[in-house]
Copies of this chain bind each other. A is one copy, B any other.
Amino acid sequence: MNKRNEKLFKAREFAQLTGVTVRALHHYDGLGLLKPSRYSQAGYRLYRESDVARLEQIVALKFIGFSLNEIKRILKGAAVDLATALRRQREAIEQKRARLDLAIKAIQRAEYVVAVNGQSSWELLAKIIGVINMQGNMDWTRKYYSEEARREIEKRAATIPPEVIEQSQRDWAALIKEVEAAVAAKEDPASDRAQALATRWSELIKGFTGGNAEVQRGLNKMYADRNNWPASTPKPFGDQVEAFIVEAMRCAKK
């Protein structure tokens, strides 16, 4: 008999309590995710206390990235196990985060290049980002190039003399090796030698417009195959080399 003093909420009011929209409530209702405990004669949705709790759960689970379907399963109690679900979800999000980190890095490097090269053209930029995507994974880039792609590339390299391609590959390899040496020797990024390296670096990027279509294709084949990449790919140098060059460029242009 305490039915009558139990407060019922209409859609708008209820929605505001939890910070969702009325439309979202409709949506949840439609999905069977959260049905109001009653409907008025006019068809108005009427929610009460217990519904508040449920909605709160939904919002919370949404916040940590579960999809509405997953939430539905979870709230039905059909979830495997709490700890496991949480862990998996966290890992999934951490991966997304890692992906964003990559993008941010790429943009930062692009920003540097633009800053150094002035109003660089968009076409150039694309190449650069291509190179960027390559950089961190140089190790098995070599793998890819040594196995089949290398021959594939040479086979299809009809329009452009292969020595141009191989030259640029050698150029990069040589430069990176020198930078690695500089890093190992703890050379000052502001030093003349480091500056020379930085200059060569941006020269190489610039020169990339010339004969790099084939290289790109090699990379692209590799990228197309990305689902087969091992999960954790070691980076023997990547980060340090990058940091060094970035620092050197900063010293130069500021």
User: Counting CB contacts under 8 A, is A110 at the interface?
Assistant: yes
CB pair B60–A125 under 8 Å, yes or no, is yes
Q: Which residues in A have some Cβ–Cβ distance to B below 8 Å? A: 5-7, 16-19, 49, 52-53, 56-57, 59-61, 63-65, 74-75, 77, 79, 82-83, 86-87, 89-90, 93-94, 96-97, 100-101, 103-104, 106-108, 110-111, 114-115, 119-120, 122-123, 125-130, 133, 156, 158-159, 213, 216-217, 220-221, 223-226
Rounded to whole angstroms, the CA-CA distance of A5 and B156 in the bound complex is 12
Residue of B at shortest CB range from A108? B90
Chain B residues whose C-beta falls within 8 Å of the C-beta of A100 in the assembled complex: 93, 96-97, 100
Number of copies: 2
CB pair B110–A104 under 8 Å, yes or no, is no
Given known contacts A74-B122, A90-B108, A220-B19, A159 and B7 CB-to-CB distance under 8 angstroms: yes
Given known contacts A49-B159, A87-B111, A93-B100, A122 and B16 CB-to-CB distance under 8 angstroms: no
CB pair B125–A82 under 8 Å, yes or no, is yes
